[in-house]
Amino acid sequence: MDIKIVKAEQLPDQINTLATLAKKEGYDLIEKLVEEYRTGKNSFSKDNEYLAVAYDGDKLIACGGLNQQWGPDGIEERIGRVRRFYVHPKYRQHGVGKQLLAYLEQLARPHYSALCLHTETKLAASFYQKQNYVFVENHPNYNYFKYLV
């Protein structure tokens, strides 16, 4: 494997391939990423927001985004949110997700003190727990949290 992780300035051409794979697994998060990106609802273009992608050679194998976290009263200062994180099934358990998440955390550190996210799958929950995210019970906007400082 020749893994390369970079910031995406736009949606990669191969994003629909990932969307198809995710859909086959019962996940619509990449379809939502494409729709929100194209409509401008979320194009990871606000201050300190990023979309990162991972390639194996020329093949797109993963993506993940970092947004500002919004609460009931606006932006929650110094909290970022991991969004639309997906790794090609054949590349799981090979460190790609760990590398991609570490890359997002590196981008986040100068701007955020903590990251949050929401997941409903046991597989993803297990992955995030291994990366030192802790379960947060009864929060209306997220269920995993990690301090970066």
pLDDT means per 10 residues, the chain with 149 residues, are 93 95 95 95 94 96 94 74 96 94 97 94 93 92 92
Taking the C-alpha atoms of residue 105 and residue 20, their distance in angstroms, rounded to an integer, is 27
* In the block, residue with structure tokens 């910031």: 7
* Distance (Å) of CA 121 to CA 25, 65, 73, 94, 127: 12, 18, 28, 19, 10
- Given this model, what pLDDT does residue 140 score? 83
- Given this model, what pLDDT does residue 139 score? 84
Taking the C-alpha atoms of residue 77 and residue 99, their distance in angstroms, rounded to an integer, is 26
Sort strands 114-117 and 144-147 into parallel, antiparallel or unpaired: antiparallel
Whole-prediction pTM: 0.92
Number of residues that make up the chain: 149
Q: Are 63 and 53 in contact (CB under 8 A)?
A: yes
Residue 101 has which token pair? Answer: 């998440």
Taking the C-alpha atoms of residue 121 and residue 123, their distance in angstroms, rounded to an integer, is 5
- Given this model, what pLDDT does residue 72 score? 65
Which amino acid does the sequence have at 19? A
Q: Among 53, 71, 68, which residue's Cα sits nearest to residue 11?
A: 53
